[in-house]
């Protein structure tokens, strides 16, 4: 049974920033394509959360590459999944905070 996904405030802000960038710099079609990609990946994560590698053992954070520019970080919490970040990989890695 797929697990429920809870978006953290940081992941919501990340998502909005990416969509704003795509609307301003590209077009509506590219933004919609990104939204579909995110939805498909989240469905995949929800169905099989352990399929992606752990990148932070202490916090039990997993990493899923969405595209060459975006990576999702999440973790399992009890009966649900917590979406921590949608990180733009063009940023400095030091900006990645959970």
Domains of the chain: 4-90 (3.30.2310.20)
pLDDT confidence of residue 94? 84
Q: How far apart are CA 52 and CA 70, in angstroms?
A: 15
Query: 8-34: per-residue pLDDT in tens?
Result: 999 999 999 999 999 999 999 999 999
Average pLDDT over every residue of 37-66: 97
- The candidate with the shortest Cα–Cα distance to 1, out of 74, 86, 81, 75, is 81
The token pair at 3 is 């697990």
Query: 79-98: per-residue pLDDT in tens?
Result: 999 999 999 998 888 888 88
- The candidate with the shortest Cα–Cα distance to 52, out of 31, 70, 73, is 73
- Answer yes or no: are the C-beta atoms of 11 and 86 closer than 8 Å: yes
Q: What is the DSSP letter of 2?
A: P
């Amino acid at each position: 049974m797929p697990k429920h996904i809870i978006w953290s405030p940081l992941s919501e802000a990340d998502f909005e920033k990416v969509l704003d960038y795509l609307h301003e710099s590209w077009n509506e079609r590219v933004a919609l394509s990104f939204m579909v990609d995110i939805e498909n990946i989240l469905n995949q994560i929800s169905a099989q959360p352990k399929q992606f590698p752990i990148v932070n053992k202490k916090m039990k954070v997993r990493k899923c590459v969405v595209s060459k520019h975006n990576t999702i970080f999440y973790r399992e919490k009890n009966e649900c999944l917590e979406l921590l970040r949608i990180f733009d990989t063009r940023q400095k890695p030091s900006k990645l905070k959970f």
